[in-house]
């Protein structure tokens, strides 16, 4: 969303009309799920994707039609053989798509896009509420209160789709991203950090050596910390929503980091190393008073088993595991990832 709205802000400043294409409902198997977006201009798709293939190609056509009419509309795609409109996709599901017309130079959209970008940059949670009748959107805070535009009827949970209202609303959470702490700034972390950044994690690198935790090695991470592995609380406060990857410059440091992280809830703790190392460390952690439940939650050996060897391959395996855990956690809140080629 943030990349799409950065581009939308640019198009608004240039007085270019656009169509914001958003999947607002999905049923069964579909290329992408609700919340997927793309931006279309007079020359076609500008940025984003709603899944590719026939749905995206047809959506681009519809967007250009709506752009010429300067109107918004909703459209349902049936992704199976049907008499209404067979577009050649047999995923087995259906998707409802909102085509939101945005006038170049629109004051409300300029304000919304700017405020949204500011909140994302400052890691402030909130919601973007799109109106299915094409009227002005709203920007809501984390509690669902209006910051810009009007409020939304009912309680804002993860996504709100209210088809029975005269003016239905669809709310998308702002992409502030999950925090990922990388303990150790070696080759694997240097390969992993940019991967995690590209898939929406907010990366912090922690090392006890300044020559490793620096912008030359990690130009795009959110934070760099040079500190003492035995005193993590002096530098950061992990939460139950945070992810941690432990691969420091020594087994004793790995142990000290694990001991501290496992004293509280974490979304994910992964530790690099062999199974024999894991058994020895687990024994020491039990002796330190760490609960068996917390110890068993650790992903070690870290990563998905893809026979990774190089730092770059290891980074892919770790990133894959973290993406999987994140998706599973999101499903627990009611969000379901859709992907026809992957199901």
Question: How far, CA to CA in Å, does 92 sit from each of 28, 77, 221?
Answer: 6, 11, 40
Q: Do 77 and 205 fall within a single domain?
A: no
- Looking at residue 86, its pLDDT comes to 46
Look at residues 124, 142, 158 and tell me which one is the last residue of a structural domain. 124
Residues 210 and 116 in one domain: no
Give me the residues of the chain with pLDDT under 70, please.
28-32, 79-93, 152-167, 333-343
Q: Does any domain span residue 8?
A: yes
Examine residue 239 and state whether it is found in any structural domain, yes or no: yes
229-266 tens-digit pLDDT: 999 999 999 989 899 999 999 999 999 999 999 999 99
The domain total for the chain is 2
Residue 263 counted as domain residue: yes
Q: What is the CA radius of gyration of the chain?
A: 23
pLDDT digits (tens, 9 = 90+) for 134-155: 889 999 988 888 899 877 655 5
Beta-ladder partners of 216: none
pTM of this prediction? Answer: 0.69
Alpha helices in the chain (DSSP H): 2-13, 53-69, 107-121, 187-198, 251-261, 275-288, 292-296, 311-332
Residue 233 lies in domain: 179-331
């Amino acid at each position: 969303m943030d990349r799409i709205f950065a581009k939308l802000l640019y198009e608004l400043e240039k007085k270019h009309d656009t169509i914001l294409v958003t999947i607002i409902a999905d049923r069964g198997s579909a290329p992408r799920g609700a919340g997927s977006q793309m931006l279309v201009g007079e020359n076609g798709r500008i940025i984003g994707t709603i899944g590719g293939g026939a749905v995206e190609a047809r959506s681009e056509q519809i967007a250009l039609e709506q752009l010429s009419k300067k109107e918004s509309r909703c459209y349902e795609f049936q992704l199976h053989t049907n008499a209404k409109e067979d577009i050649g996709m047999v995923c087995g599901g259906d998707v409802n798509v909102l085509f939101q017309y945005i006038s170049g130079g629109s004051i409300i959209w300029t304000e919304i896009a700017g405020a949204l970008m500011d909140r994302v940059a400052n890691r402030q949670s909130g919601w973007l509420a799109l109106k299915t009748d094409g009227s002005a959107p709203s920007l809501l805070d984390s509690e669902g209160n209006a910051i810009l535009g009007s409020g939304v009827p009912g309680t804002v949970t993860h996504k709100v789709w209210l088809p029975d209202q005269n003016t239905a609303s669809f709310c998308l959470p702002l992409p502030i991203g999950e925090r990922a702490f990388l303990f150790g700034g070696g080759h694997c972390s240097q390969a992993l950090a940019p991967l995690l950044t590209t898939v929406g994690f907010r990366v912090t690198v922690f090392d006890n050596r300044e020559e490793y935790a620096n912008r030359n090695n990690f130009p795009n991470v959110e934070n760099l910390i040079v500190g003492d592995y035995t005193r993590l609380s002096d530098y950061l406060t992990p939460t139950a929503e945070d992810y941690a990857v432990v691969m420091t410059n020594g087994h004793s440091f790995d142990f000290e980091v694990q001991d501290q992280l496992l004293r509280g809830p974490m979304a994910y703790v992964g530790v690099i190393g062999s199974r024999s190392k894991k058994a020895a460390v687990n024994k020491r952690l039990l002796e330190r008073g760490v609960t068996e439940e917390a110890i068993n939650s650790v992903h070690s050996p870290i990563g998905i088993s893809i026979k990774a060897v190089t730092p770059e391959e290891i980074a892919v395996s770790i990133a894959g595991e973290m993406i999987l855990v994140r998706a599973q956690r999101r499903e627990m809140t009611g969000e379901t990832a859709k992907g026809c080629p992957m199901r």
